[in-house]
Amino acid sequence: MNDHNIPVTEDELHAYVDGELPAERRADVEAWLAAHPEEAERVQSWRTMAEMLHARYDSVAQEPVPARLELERLERRPRQWLYGAAAAVLVAFVAGGTAGWVAHGAANAPSAFQSFTADALDAHRLYVVEVRHPVEVGGNERDHLQAWLTRRCGWTVFAPNLEASGLKLVGGRLLPGPNGPASFLMYEGASGERYTIYSAKTENGATQMRYARTDKDGALFWAERGVGYVVSGGGSDRERLTKVAQAVYDQAEKNGG
Amino acid sequence: MIVEAHAPNARDVKTAMSAFRQSVEAMIPALRRYARALTRDADAADDLVQDTLVRALRSERLFLGGDVRSWLYTILTNLNKNRRRSLARRPQFTQLTENNPDASGTEAEGRDIEKALATLVEEQRSVLLLVMLEGMSYREVADIQGVPIGTVMSRLARARAHVKASLEGERTALRRVK
């Protein structure tokens, strides 16, 4: 609007159509529009525009909310739990008992260990519930499984024997990891409880064992010779998880990791 | 050695949280609508909503009353800015079924408005959608974008002019050679 004689401003037209115009001014604008059909048509086109937007996008708000946006599900995500340090109960466990490790204000920058463990717990959670296809290669093909994962991952992948801990090898699969491929092995106990071993290359050359837990799962992380390991499972039974992880660690050591 | 760090009063705040959570939950459909129109990509939109919800739940304790709705839209709008900044570094996905010649009038109109939205710069698109689709007041939009009301109004005016021109271009493209 460049004409100084026009009493109704561009802003007022928008405010009018958006219901933001003071009530006492509405009649003036309407009278003015009646005298300026071209402007009235422009205002009408904004209303049509709003109708088109609603016609196109309101259906999205009518769709059932996808499962991945359910709040309960989002709260259970280990990633979120790991990052939201203050809200969570975090237990740090250090094998050997030398130095303590405390998750301090991890809300902003998750450490490599935290995101590594979160990835492993994501994989654990995703596959332990699988009934028909928990693994790509079954435990009855242990040699083939080890050879295949070793070839693809680039370090010696060894599926430890955990029968002493009451666990049988279900099998394994290859996963994308933080620094290349990751190996994922699954074990199952007498009552159907499942443990998984996730391993991938890591920047941490070697670290002590660390314990992390979510409301449903526990996980033990350590790194040895540039390969990080996360043993997950056992619910709140940390003792058994520790034993399982210890067995994995010992056998990996013997076999040169 | 075992170190345990407990949340100070997790149980005390639980009741207050569930009211907060309910108001967040009630907003999910509208957030999805806004995100879809903003990104015009169903997956990217739900990613955005998911990140918004995760952020909101995580910041539950930082939320000291006020309007949950505006707060959620603010988070989503800011996350979308970050998303667009990193878009250049990621592979781009496009829908395979772009053009359907047999589309009904409504579908064709939906495509037109989508194309028109795509011609806007981000701030204008956001203002247009917050006002016209989400029914926000200028004041709320100013708070969400962190700009004065005058800026909101000029963005809105420009956005409407662009969309109008784009829609008219679509309609007359077949009849008129410019």
Q: In chain A, whose CA is at the least distance from the CA of B112?
A: A52
Please give the structure tokens belonging to residue A17: 């159509």
Mean pLDDT value across residues A133-152 = 94
- pLDDT for B172 equals 64
User: From CA A138, how far away is CA A153, in angstroms rounded?
Assistant: 18
Q: What does pLDDT average to over chain A?
A: 82
B157/A14 touch (CB, cutoff 8 Å), yes or no: yes
Question: Which residues contact residue B169 at a Cβ distance below 8 angstroms, ignoring those fewer than 6 apart?
Answer: none
Alpha carbon distance A166, A162 (integer Å): 7
Position A44 scores a pLDDT of 96
Name the 3-class secondary structure at B36: helix
- Token pair 């049509």 is found at A48
Q: What is the pLDDT of residue B86?
A: 65
pLDDT at B67: 83
pLDDT band at A103 (very low <50, low <70, confident <90, very high): very low
pLDDT at res. B97: 41
Mutate to test the interface with A, among B62, B133, B172 (most CBs of A within 10 A): B133
Contacts of B114 in chain A (CB under 8 A): 56
C-beta of residue A245 within 8 angstroms of C-beta of residue A210 = no
Residue with tokens 């029914």: B135
H or E element that contains A176: strand A167-177
Number of Cβ pairs < 8 A linking chain A and chain B: 126
Task: Point out the residue among A49, A57, A100 whose CB comes nearest to the CB of B1.
Answer: A100
Tell me the pLDDT tens digit for each residue of A163-221: 999 999 999 999 998 889 999 999 999 888 999 999 999 877 777 788 887 777 889 98
> Helical H runs in chain A?
10-17, 23-35, 37-62, 71-76, 78-83, 112-128, 142-153, 238-254
> Per residue, what are the HEC states of A61-94?
HHCCCCHHHCHHHHHHCHHHHHHCHHHCCEEEEC
Evaluate whether A236 touches A247 at the Cβ level (below 8 Å).
no
Give Cα A169 distance to the centre of its chain: 26
CA distance A173 to chain B (A): 26
Hey, are the CB atoms on B6 and A89 less than 8 Å from each other? yes
Is residue A239 very low, low, confident or very high in pLDDT (cuts 50, 70, 90)? Answer: confident
- Specify the pLDDT at position A206: 76
Give the chain A residue whose CA is nearest to the CA of B42: A60
Asked whether B37 and B12 are in contact (CB, 8 A), the reply is no
CA distance B64 to B73: 16
Interface test with A, best of B14, B18, B50, B111 (most A CBs within 10 A): B50
Q: Which of B30, B50, B137 sits opposite A68 (nearest CB)?
A: B50
Q: Taking CB atoms and an 8 Å cutoff, what residues of chain A touch B61?
A: 86-87
Set of chain B residues whose Cβ sits within 8 Å of the Cβ of A91: 2-4
A234: left (phi over 0), alpha (psi -120 to 50) or beta: left
Q: Which residue has the tokens 């199952």?
A: A188
Question: Looking at the predicted structure, is the pLDDT value of residue A81 above 80?
Answer: no
Q: How far apart are the first and last CA of chain A?
A: 76
pLDDT at A204: 72
Q: Tell me how far the alpha carbon of residue B112 is from its chain's centroid.
A: 19
Name the more confident of B127 and A71: B127
- Would the pLDDT of A4 be above 70? no
Q: Which ipTM value was assigned to this complex? A: 0.81
Residue B83's pLDDT is: 78
Note whether B138 contacts A20, CB cutoff 8 Å.
yes
What pTM value is reported for the model? 0.54
The letter for the amino acid at A114 is: Q
Which residue, among A49, A101, A102, would best test binding to B if mutated, counting the most B CBs under 10 Å from its CB? A49
Each residue's pLDDT, cut to its tens digit, for chain B (178 residues) gives: 333 333 444 454 555 557 888 889 999 999 999 999 999 888 889 999 999 999 888 877 666 667 889 999 999 998 898 777 766 554 444 344 444 444 556 677 778 899 999 989 999 999 999 999 999 999 999 999 999 999 999 999 999 999 999 998 866 655 544 4
Interface test with B, best of A52, A70, A93 (most B CBs within 10 A): A52
Residues in chain B closer than 8 A to A209 (CB atoms): none
Q: What pLDDT shows up at residue B95?
A: 40
Element (H, E) at B115: helix B105-118
Both structure tokens of A99: 């130095």
pLDDT for A6 equals 53
Nearest chain B residue to A77 by CA distance is: B54
N- to C-terminal Cα distance for chain B? Answer: 78
Angle at B49 between CA A18 and CA B130, to 5 degrees: 10
Q: What is the largest CA-CA distance in chain A?
A: 93
Query: Nearest residue of A to residue B111 by CA position?
Result: A56
Give the pLDDT of residue A132.
85
Residue A122 CA to residue A214 CA, distance in Å, equals 11
- Least Cα distance to A227 among A137, A157, A147, A143 occurs for A157
CB contact under 8 A, B46 and A66: yes
More confident residue, A112 or B112: B112
**Average pLDDT score over residue span A146-175:** 94
pLDDT number for residue A236? 78
The per-residue pLDDT for A15 is: 96
Q: Do B54 and A11 touch (CB under 8 A)?
A: no
CB contact under 8 Å between B5 and A97, yes or no, is no
CB count in 10 Å sphere of residue A220: 27
